[in-house]
Each structure stands twice: as C-alpha cells, then as structure tokens.
Amino acid sequence: MAATKRNPTAFFREEYERLVREGLNWELRILESACEPVCRVDGREVIMMCANNYLNLATHPKVVKAMIEATEKYGAGAGSDRSIAGNMDIHEELDRTLARFKRAPASLTFQTGFMANEGLIPQLADRGDLFVSDELNHGSIIDGIRLSHADRAIYKHKDMADLERVLNEAEKHDPPYRRIWIITDGVFSMDGDLAPLPEIAKLAEEHGAGVYVDDAHGEGVLGEGGRGIVSHFRLTRDQVHIEMGTFSKAFGVIGGHITGSEDLRNFAYNKARTWLLSGAMPPGVAAACKAAIEVLESNPQLVDMVWENRRYFMEEMQALGFDTGNTETPIVPIMCGRSKTARDLANYVWQEGIFVLPIVYPMVPREKARIRVQLCAKHTREHLDKAIEAFKKGGKAVGLI
Ligand SMILES: Cc1ncc(COP(=O)(O)O)c(C=O)c1O
C-alpha cells in the first residue's frame, strides 16, 4: 500500500501565521544590559517596570561574586543529574540555607520552579485520588496535574464557597478518595491578589486534604523578612504541607524549590522525575541562590522598600483615575479592557522610556486586558514619577482616564 504523503513541519509556519493574524504572537524585546531599574532594551534606555526581580538581587554584588567564585571552584556545570553524580555540597548547602530561611525542617531545590511543579505534583496523587485547583493557577501547576492519573476539580478563583462545594461533592465519591490535594498559587501573577490561605487550610483540615501553595511571587515580598505567604498568614506546616517557590523572581537568579517536612524532601527527590532525570542546577547558580537568601536575611529592609514603592505608585495611579484591579502585592495591573487599548498604552509609555508589557487574551480573559506593572526595591521616586507621568499622558491618549 502506498504511504500517505505527509508534511510534518508545514504547521510550524501555518500556526505561527495564525498567531500573527490573530495578534496572539509574542514579539520579543531584547534586553541589552543587566536587569536594573534603568536598563537598555532594543537600543533604548528605559525604566524597567515588568521584571520579577523585586529586590534587585540579580545584580547584587554579593550574589554575583558568589556565582563567579563557585564557578571558578566547581566549573560551569555539575556534570550530571543530582540523582547520579551531580549532587554537590553547594546544592546541599543551598537546600539547608533555604530550610533555615523558611524555618522549616527541610527544603529541596530543583532546576526551575516550573520543573518543581511539573515534577512533584504528578507524584502526589494517582488513580483514586483528587486534585482540587484554583481556576487561575499557573500553567506549571496545570501541567503537573495533567501529568497525573488522579481526578481533578477546578474551583472558581478564590471562591471558598465553591471550594467547599467541590470538597463536599468529593465526599460522595465511591469508593472514597484516598488522597485529596488542594493546590493554589499564593500570589496570582496576573492580578497580584492573594489566595485566602487560612480559609483554604481550614477547609482542607475539615476534609483531610493536603495543601500545596505555589509562592513564586510571594517570596521576598510577603511575610516576615520576605519569608512568603505561609509566614504572612502565620500558618504552620501542619496547615500548609508543601510550600513551593522559585529563585527566578525576588531572589533574582533561577531555580525552583519545595519546603516542608523531612519526609516530603525524601519523597520528592526519590519520585520527582524532573529532579531525577535532568541535569543538576549549575554550581554557580546554587551559590548565587544561597547568597541571595543570605543577602535578604541580613537586609530585610529591601522588602519594605518594594512595599513603599508600591504604595506610592498605586496611590498616584489611582488618583489619576486608573483601575488597578484587585492587587494586594507589588504586581500592579493597569486594567485596560480591550487588548488594543492595552497594546496602545504599552506602546505609548514605551515611547516615553517606560518598559511594560500588555497582558492580553489568552493570558487573561478577552475583556480584561491590562498592563502589568511590577515594582522593585530600587525604583527611585524619580523613576516612579517619570512612569506615572508617562501613564498619565498615555492614559489620556488612549481614552482610559
Ligand atoms: C506562579 C508561578 N509558579 C511557577 C513559576 C515558574 O517558575 P520558574 O521561573 O522558576 O520556572 C512561575 C513563573 O512564571 C509563576 O509565576
């Protein structure tokens, strides 16, 4: 029989052209300097207002020095997966430093936060178990859940009545679910709002469920000295069983991590496939992450600085008439409605030297396009005033204020 003629690669271009037609493609900007409050992007000097580098640790001299020194000592790479020959003393020191910072029995670091979620979550539940997930959870949580054989149920964003409904429904399952896990972002990255973690923990306790929080945007920002959302709500490790986070945001480097009991750590490094079957975090990166934690431990005022900048920016923007959504953190959405308005406003302020990106469908619902501003500790009043002035002119030009 003659083989069917196939072109396995034609869809690369077709799909890309469709994205362009529908205005859904990413147009990449190029950062030509370090990620500082003022940096060079596409040949222009601009104020950076869309980085996750909340505490400016990416360029902190102690963090950079630690990376250079460890690279000189250990080389550029670990030479293997941590599970085989690449588990260096610097990785173990990082794990212990993080657990100390989190005031927890144990932590385990992964190569990225995405890999932590995608590796650990599928191991938490199998056939006969249930994941319960907030509808706005991060893609790495969604993918992690998809990789498991467990049932899944979605509750409306932060809606505790809906979560209770889902859990009551789950009680009727026959045979009874063996394990139930409630998974939530701590800070929701598109809106900057917080998960109602105490209420989630209470419902979890009533239903014998585990609680897993992804604190990627809460670390370095929330809680005592930036210890994150569990600290912010003064919850215990019996109430929140797995705290997941990343070194790619406030810590300014890269890497993922989980924190909880010693049992959790032992389980995770024996089961999570992204940890077992992928190369170890480079030693220079591990040393930089450890240094970033230490810098934060000895400079908790960095956290206050980012909050003060947030307060000032929010007050000024609201006084101008901008809608800043439901944010409770230094992620400040400027709600624009239609995608075109968000794009036009981002382009306008770009011309004025402000780097922000429009967040449009499908990242957010069609009529909830926005610009997501992220404040950092080292934005000065001058930087913020320049941005506010640009938004004022741009907001008038696009008819938002
Ligand atoms: C909520 C959340 N979880 C996980 C991640 C992934 O973290 P990482 O950059 O370390 O892969 C991100 C990053 O975008 C995030 O916002």
Residue 164 lies in a domain: yes
**Residue 95 and residue 47 in one domain:** no
User: How far is Cα of residue 286 from the mean position of the Cα atoms in its chain?
Assistant: 19
Residue 227 lies in a domain: yes
How far away, in angstroms, is 244 Cα from ligand 1 center?
A: 10
The answer to whether 258 touches 216, Cβ cutoff 8 Å, is no
pLDDT reported for residue 71:
98
Protein residue whose Cα sits closest to atom 15 of ligand 1: 216
> Tens-of-pLDDT digits for all 401 residues of the chain?
789 999 999 999 999 999 999 888 888 999 999 999 999 999 999 999 999 999 999 999 999 999 999 999 999 999 999 999 999 999 999 999 999 999 999 999 999 999 999 999 999 999 999 999 999 999 999 999 999 999 999 999 999 999 999 999 999 999 999 999 999 999 999 999 999 999 999 999 999 999 999 999 999 999 999 999 999 999 999 999 999 999 999 999 999 999 999 999 999 999 999 999 999 999 999 999 999 999 999 999 999 999 999 999 999 999 999 999 999 999 999 999 999 999 999 999 999 999 999 999 888 888 999 999 999 999 999 999 999 999 999 999 999 99
User: How many domains does one find in the chain?
Assistant: 2
Residue 21 lies in a domain: no
Ligand 1 neighbourhood includes 112 CB (under 6 angstroms): yes
pLDDT reported for residue 34:
98
The answer to whether 110 touches 275, Cβ cutoff 8 Å, is yes
**Residue 73 and residue 168 in one domain:** yes
pLDDT reported for residue 1:
78
pLDDT reported for residue 383:
98
DSSP SS3 for 284: helix
**Residue 85 and residue 218 in one domain:** yes
241 is catalytic: no
Residue 283 lies in a domain: yes
Residue 23 lies in a domain: no
Q: Measured between alpha carbons, how far is 141 from 183 in angstroms, rounded to an integer?
A: 8
217, 290, 368, 378: the active-site residue: 217
**Residue 241 and residue 342 in one domain:** no
**Residue 250 and residue 342 in one domain:** no
Q: Which residue, of 298, 333, 364, is where some domain finishes? A: 298
Domain of 261 in residue numbering reads as 61-298
Contacts with 254 (C-beta within 8 Å, 6 or more apart), sequence order? 111, 112, 246, 247, 248, 281, 285, 289
How far away, in angstroms, is 270 Cα from ligand 1 center?
A: 23
Specify the CATH number for the domain of residue 126: 3.40.640.10
pLDDT reported for residue 23:
80
**Residue 45 and residue 107 in one domain:** no
107, 148, 189, 339: the active-site residue: 189
**Residue 93 and residue 191 in one domain:** yes
158 is catalytic: no
**Residue 326 and residue 278 in one domain:** no
Q: Which residue, of 272, 298, 324, is where some domain finishes? A: 298
Residue 7 lies in a domain: no
Looking from the CA of residue 189, the nearest atom of ligand 1 is: 16
Residue 263 lies in a domain: yes
Ligand 1 neighbourhood includes 256 CB (under 6 angstroms): yes
**Cα dist. 380→219, 361, 386 in Å?**
22, 32, 10
Q: Which amino acid is at 72?
A: E
**Residue 117 and residue 237 in one domain:** yes
Residue 305 lies in a domain: yes
Picking from 132, 55, 117, the residue whose alpha carbon sits closest to that of residue 296 is: 55
Looking from the CA of residue 246, the nearest atom of ligand 1 is: 10
Picking from 3, 11, 64, the residue whose alpha carbon sits closest to that of residue 35 is: 64
**Residue 271 and residue 314 in one domain:** no
Looking from the CA of residue 187, the nearest atom of ligand 1 is: 1
How far away, in angstroms, is 146 Cα from ligand 1 center?
A: 17
Ligand 1 neighbourhood includes 109 CB (under 6 angstroms): no
Specify the CATH number for the domain of residue 324: 3.90.1150.10
Taking residue 32's Cβ as centre, other Cβ atoms within 10 Å add up to 11
91, 158, 207, 249: the active-site residue: 249
Q: Which residue, of 243, 269, 298, is where some domain finishes? A: 298
149 is catalytic: no
**Residue 69 and residue 49 in one domain:** no
**Residue 253 and residue 347 in one domain:** no
